A and B are shown apart, each in its own frame.
Chain A
Amino acid sequence: MENSDVVIRLEKVSKSYGDKQVLKNIDLTIKKGTIMGLVGKNGAGKTTMIKSLLGLLKLDSGKASLFGEDSWDLPGEVKQKLGYVPQTVNGFDGWMTVDALLEYTSVFYDKWNKNKVDKLLKDWNIDPKARFRSLSEGEKQKVAIIMAMGHEPELYIFDEPVASLDPVARRSFIKELIDLNIDSGTTMLFSTHITSDLERIAADVALLKDNEIKYVGELSALKEKYDQNMNLEDIFIELNK
């Protein structure tokens, strides 16, 4: 029986690229309103896990679902509830201005909060008339985040979204996420290397190591397992020894 509170579910998920196994029997359940941080070394399988969840990769075995629907064939209604920010922001035409790109994206969705989009552009100092090709990596990342937020999804999936952001933008972005979570109970899966950000935002954490989830649960419980004075980065290093 599917629990309606469950937004993300991975059951015994395995995925290999040729001989290289990237995910091995991954089990993960994320309930509505949770902010889950996903941590792991480079190549641990974070991006593969996210892409499997989005139905961009076929699983070797196991089952991935979003809002109770099989990830491989997500119904349109489920995709409308989803906001995804990829690790690298490519694929948009350089001639597009930021406002044209946002306008183009808005046509895909049933609802679009233009006021919010304009506010974020202003807060993050993005010139709406700037062409995509002229933006820095950080600015492109900000635009991708705004694109994912415009239709006010119920679930956000971020694949290292803050890697190219400056500290001010990072803090502002995290504040935005916390507000969203408090105001609308939005669910978030957040993969990052910057563990200090996770400590600010995530209540729960999943640690990926050797293609398996080594820990999943509350961040405070993880800290209790170790020395209370240790931060997540220390724990992460300790776990990866």
Chain B
Amino acid sequence: MKVYMQMFKYNFKLIPKISISLLIMMVSVTIYKLFFLGDDIGLFSYNNITIAQIVFRLIFTIFLIWAYFRTFMILSGPSVLQMIPEIRKKAIIFAGLNLCLVFIWAVYILGYNDFQILFSFIISSLWMLSTMITMSSFRVPVYRLNKYWFLKLIFALFSFVAPIIYIKGTPKHPIMCYIILSVFFIVIIYQMFNFVTNYINYRLKDDFTKKGFGLKINSFQAYFDDAIVKELNSLIKKINSNPKNKYIKLFQFSLFEPSPKILGLIFYALIVSALFSIRDKFEIIYFVSFLLFFLLMSFFNYSRIYRKRNKIVYLYLASKLSRNKFELTVLSTVFRQVIFGFACSVPIFTLGLVIYSKYFITAELLLILYLVLSYYIAELLIIYILWAFLIKNKDYDTIKQSV
């Protein structure tokens, strides 16, 4: 027990800010459940939903994802992998204990009496855990022979489909769905068992990024990397032929992680198809909560952009701009990115409004328009305030580097 307590302490100190944030999230959700919901009502089972409930549901979900992900990040870190098998065995027991604690706590928060919600929680947790196992199995194989990489791929696809089968298919074909989900459940247990055994017996000389599944993933990654390099080359060509807004374009490429256009198109198509599946009136309270959530995400995202210290230093020294002009160009770059995002979202938003107009009256539509415009104004304000605090006339070298 002493060893596990020491591990807990070490673990806590390893990433103290994240540990403290997790603890605060856990305590706040527990207080909300204890004093505001009571023992009988679970966090997800109350029908007359309030903003507070949406906020705590979000906190609860973020906490779970973070807690699971963190456990696997620690397990897959080279510092633990390089240790002797006995230590790795202890590490995996510790991780298991950690997860069990989180699991018991989550069941308490969700309520014991709502079977449907508990079942959804178990399925989605297992899906999340097994996806993370698959992710960390770049180093530790899930199957005894790495040539079975294709099973992982099938599993990864199936894990994506399983929650949809559960939600959409259960009411129509309950027996078939429960059989499929049971198979999914058995496969996950089998993978976890293999993962634990292989993790303890891991040999450092095995490099799974150079064969089997790891190699496939690497070539997949190389394909996307090449696509981004192509985009960079075309940007350079464009700048060379028309240097207008040269620095904004260069900064934009450097500060915002570029992704191949094809991914953007797929994402766009997914949102549009999701909009067409709208069948019911969407409560305005959900809409406000989503906007607030995205605003919070924007805050973290733009603060991360401004804290790319190494890039800021590089761009400042390489650009032919005075300090003041450089700082204003950084601000313009971020504004431009937001306006570009806004322009891209206009068709989606219009489509959404057309579909929703079945349910909304004009006054409600105006309210939605007003909310969306307020969102964008708030986002621009956040960007300006962060810029004034992090960049304007600041020591670039002391900017706290973002991950």
Contact = CB atoms under 8 A, between A and B. Distances in A.
A75 B316 CA distance: 11
Nearest to B253: A104
Contacts of B309: 91
B247 to A, nearest CB: 8
A95 B321 CA distance: 27
B313 A72 contact: no
Given A75-B322, A107-B239, A84 B317 contact: yes
B236 A103 contact: yes
A79 B313 CA distance: 12
Interface in A80-94: 80, 82, 84, 86, 90-93
B396 A56 contact: yes
Interface in B206-244: 224-225, 228-229, 232-233, 236, 239-240
A56 B310 CA distance: 11
Contacts of B395: 56-58
A104 to B, nearest CB: 6
Interface string A56-79: 111000000000000011111101
B55 to A, nearest CB: 35
Interface string B317-328: 111111111000
A191 to B, nearest CB: 15
Interface residues of B, number: 34
Contacts, number: 75
B236 A108 contact: no
A159 to B, nearest CB: 12
A110 B320 contact: yes
Contacts of B250: 104, 107-108
B317 A54 contact: yes
B314 interface: yes
A170 interface: no
B308 A91 contact: yes
Nearest to A101: B232
Contacts of B232: 96, 100, 103-104
A41 interface: no
Interface of B: 224-225, 228-229, 232-233, 236, 239-240, 246, 250, 253-254, 257, 308-311, 313-314, 316-325, 395-398
18 contacts: A54-B317, A56-B313, A56-B316, A58-B395, A73-B324, A77-B320, A80-B320, A86-B313, A91-B309, A91-B313, A95-B229, A100-B229, A100-B232, A103-B233, A104-B253, A104-B254, A108-B318, A108-B319
In order of increasing CB-CB distance, the 4 nearest A-B pairs are: A91-B310, A76-B320, A95-B225, A56-B397
Interface of A: 51, 54-58, 72-77, 79-80, 82, 84, 86, 90-93, 95-97, 100, 103-105, 107-110, 131
